[in-house]
Amino acid sequence: MATSYIPVSENETMPVSARIRARLMASKERFHANDNIAHHIIPGELEELLDEVSQRMQGVLESLVIDTSSDHNTQDTARRVAKMYLQEVFGGRYTPEPAVTEFPNVAHLNELMIIGPVTVRSACSHHFCPIMGKVWIGVMPNQHSNLIGLSKYARLAAWVMNRPQIQEEAVKQLADLLQEKMQPDGLAVIMEAEHFCMHWRGVKDTDALMVNSVMHGSFLKDPALRREFLSLIKR
Ligand SMILES: Nc1nc2c(ncn2[C@@H]2O[C@H](COP(=O)(O)OP(=O)(O)OP(=O)(O)O)[C@@H](O)[C@H]2O)c(=O)[nH]1
C-alpha cells in the first residue's frame, strides 16, 4: 500500500533515499536493516534508488582506490552491487509481502505439520556477510486456523531473510508472520545456519553453526509435542 501523502519536509530536490526516510520519520516508523519499508516507496522510486545506490557504491570503489575506468572487471560493479542489494539479497526490505492464499481448515485438521528443511539465505547486519542455512517449521493448527500453500512457507521465509539480519531476530520475525497469518494453536521455527562473517573473516572458524528456535503456544506448553517435532526433523 503506497502512502497517499507527501510530508511537508519532503521535496523533489532531495535524493530519493532522503524522501523515503522523511516519510518513515513522519510516520514514526522504524526503518532498521531488517524492517520492510515497501509501503513508503512510491512507484518509480525503486529505479531512482537504484541510480542513487549505484552512485554511492561507485564512491566506495573510488575510496577503495580501484581504477574502475581502466579495470574492465569493475567497470559495472557499482551498479551490479546496487542491483544485488536492492533487488536480490536485501529485496525483502523494498518489496511488499508476497501474496499468500489462505485456505480455511475445512477438515478441522489438528495434527502436527512439519515443513522443512527450507533453504534460506541472508546476510548479517554487522558485516553484510552471507548467512546460509535451513529452517524447519512446525504448525499445530486448530479448526479456526488458516492453512497456507506449502510453497508459501518458503516465499515468506525468503521475504524475511532477504534483509540484513541477525539470526535471532530473523527467526522471530518469521514466527510472528506465520502466527499472524495462520493463527495456529502452536508454531515452532528452528533455524540452523552458517555465518560467513565467522568463516571468511574475523575468527575464521569454518565449522561453527548457529541454531536457534522460537516456539509459540502448544509447542511451549506441551513437552510431548515439542519432542515429537524435534524427533521428526532430520537435522
Ligand atoms: N548474535 C548474533 N551475532 C552475529 C550474527 N551474525 C554475526 N554475528 C556476530 O556479530 C558480531 C559483531 O561483532 P563486533 O565486535 O562488533 O565486530 P568485529 O570487531 O568485526 O568482530 P569479529 O567478528 O569478532 O572480528 C560478531 O561476533 C559476529 O560473529 C547473528 O546472526 N547473531
pLDDT (tens digit per residue) in 23-77: 999 999 999 999 999 999 999 999 999 999 999 999 999 999 999 999 999 999 9
Ligand 1: atom nearest CA of 198 is 29
CA of 168 to the centre of ligand 1 (A): 13
Examine residue 11 and state whether it is found in any structural domain, yes or no: no
CATH classification of the domain holding 26? 1.10.286.10
Give me the number of domains the chain comprises: 2
ipTM summary value: 0.85
Pocket residue to mutate for ligand 1, from 165, 197, 199, most atoms within 8 A of Cβ: 197
Q: Kindly report the CA angle at 169 between 94 and 32, in degrees rounded to 5? A: 40
Q: Is residue 4 part of a domain?
A: no
225 in Cβ contact with 218 (< 8 Å): yes
CB-CB contact of 159 with 93 (8 Å):
no
pLDDT of residue 73: 98
Among residues 235, 181, 172, 185, the alpha carbon closest in space to that of 34 is found at 172
Residue 7's pLDDT is 54
207-233 b/e with 16+ CB inside 10 Å = b? eeeeeebbbbbbbeebeebbeebeeeb
Q: Which atom of ligand 1 is nearest to the CA of 195?
A: 6
Cβ within 8 Å of residue 79, ≥6 positions away: 50, 54, 57
Do 141 and 110 touch, CB atoms closer than 8 A?
A: yes
In this prediction, residue 13 carries a pLDDT of: 84
Structural domain range at position 122: 102-232
Nearest residue to 124 via CA among 59, 60, 196: 196
Q: Is residue 45 part of a domain?
A: yes
Assess whether 125 and 41 both reside in one domain. Answer: no
Note whether residue 3 is domain-resident.
Answer: no
Are the C-beta atoms of 71 and 61 separated by less than 8 Å? no
Residue 10 lies in a domain: no
Mean pLDDT of the chain: 94
- Kindly state the average pLDDT of the residues 128-142: 97
CA of 106 to the centre of ligand 1 (A): 46
CATH assignment at residue 180: 3.30.1130.10
Q: What is the pLDDT of residue 2?
A: 47
Statement to judge: residues 226 and 125 lie in one domain: yes
Do 26 and 47 lie in one domain? The reply is yes
Mean pLDDT of 170-177: 98
124 lines ligand 1 (CB under 6 A): yes
What's the pTM? 0.91
Task: Please choose from 32, 121, 122, 124 the residue to mutate so as to test ligand 1's pocket, defined by most ligand atoms within 8 A of CB.
Answer: 124
Asked if residue 107 and residue 56 are part of one domain, the reply reads no
